[in-house]
Amino acid sequence: MKLLSSYPYDLSVIVVSFNTRDLLRECLASLLAECDRLPEDVKAEVLLVDNASQDGSAEMVAAEFSATRTPVRLFSSAVNLGFGAANNLAFEAAEGRYLVLLNSDAFLHPGVLARSLELMDANPATGVGGARLVGRNGEWQPSARQFHSLWNDFLIVSGLSYHYPHSRIFGAPDRTWADPLMPADVDWVPGAFSILRREALVKVGIFDPAFFLYYEEVDLCRRIKDAGYCVSYWPELVVTHIGGESSRQLSSLLYSETAAQVVLWRMRSTLLYYRKHYGGQAWLASWLEQGIYRLRWLRNRNSKDAARRERAREFALLCKLMRQAWQETKGGRGSPPVPW
């Protein structure tokens, strides 16, 4: 990633897709409509990276979005690179002053692009700006978060943050205690939508490709903050995000190989993140999760209630997955080969 002597575009909007053809079509249509609302002196480009989709996503983009007023540039990867590395591919080709990340299951509300550009121009200390994420039904999703730590992860895994969301102590990880309509400088914002300052990326580097999925935006925001920039949450920017509505339940782990695989990916990234930023605490992070899961296994395994015995099996599987993640990442010291 480098600075350019001049920029053909003010905004480079990057969308990464993996087998989301129908949502991707909707996403691009709404995005291009939003680009059309930009002032005449504001120019945007769209860069679509297809991560070896098998559902015809790339072919659909080539057929339906090749002659639009806002240019759509298609990059097709022969393998699934993961979220971070796929964005990196577009970063290197982007020609905008600012880089906007948008999930293929996310949809901008009117005015978001123009206003995000204004906010970045008006706040030169901001390296990353984030939006207020909502579901299809308008329900708020965690949009402004604190960095992972042993304490914050304990609050999440133990369920305390879920049961006491309005407590400044227990609700700290996702700042559920805070008014979602109040702007704030935070630790990190989700990659479903964010706007990044090119100068910040040039200074700290782009996504760490070690993170195939999960934690890549946490790591990037941490490096940007360490470089002296702010990470800003701007609730006036509203983005509908579909993915946040369909979080998997533990009950699916025993019967869904895909759900278990996604949990394993999250655990791998957890260990990679802790080893990178906290060194030996990677071991503590592993045992923190396993310890809580073991206690819940012990509590439920001999119950007369069949549902509780089922839960015990799920917690035993979670322990097994964390041990597997530890082995596959060598305690967070290395990322398994791509694709995961």
What pTM does this model have? 0.94
From residue 134, alpha-carbon distances to 44, 215, 234, 241, 242 in Å are 24, 21, 13, 6, 8
Other Cβ atoms closer than 10 A to 174: 19
What domains can you pick out in the chain, each with its CATH number? 9-143+180-245 (3.90.550.10), 250-328 (no CATH)
Separation CA 68–CA 89 (nearest Å) = 22
Token couple for 64: 């339906």
Residue 1 is predicted with a pLDDT of 76
Task: Report residues of the chain scoring pLDDT below 50.
Answer: 245-251
Contacts within 8 Å (CB) and 24+ apart, 182-185:
182/235, 183/232, 183/233, 183/234, 183/235, 183/236, 184/144, 184/232, 184/233, 185/230, 185/231, 185/232, 185/233
Residue 59 is predicted with a pLDDT of 96
**Eight-class DSSP state of 183:** -
Residue 246 is predicted with a pLDDT of 40
> What one-character-per-residue DSSP string does 108-168 give?
EPTTHHHHHHHHHHH-TTEEEEEEEEE-TT--B---SBPPP-HHHHHHHHHSHHHH-TT-T
Residue 248 is predicted with a pLDDT of 39
Residue 5 is predicted with a pLDDT of 79
Residue 252 is predicted with a pLDDT of 60
Beta-strand relationship, 44-51 and 126-134 = unpaired
Residue 244 is predicted with a pLDDT of 54
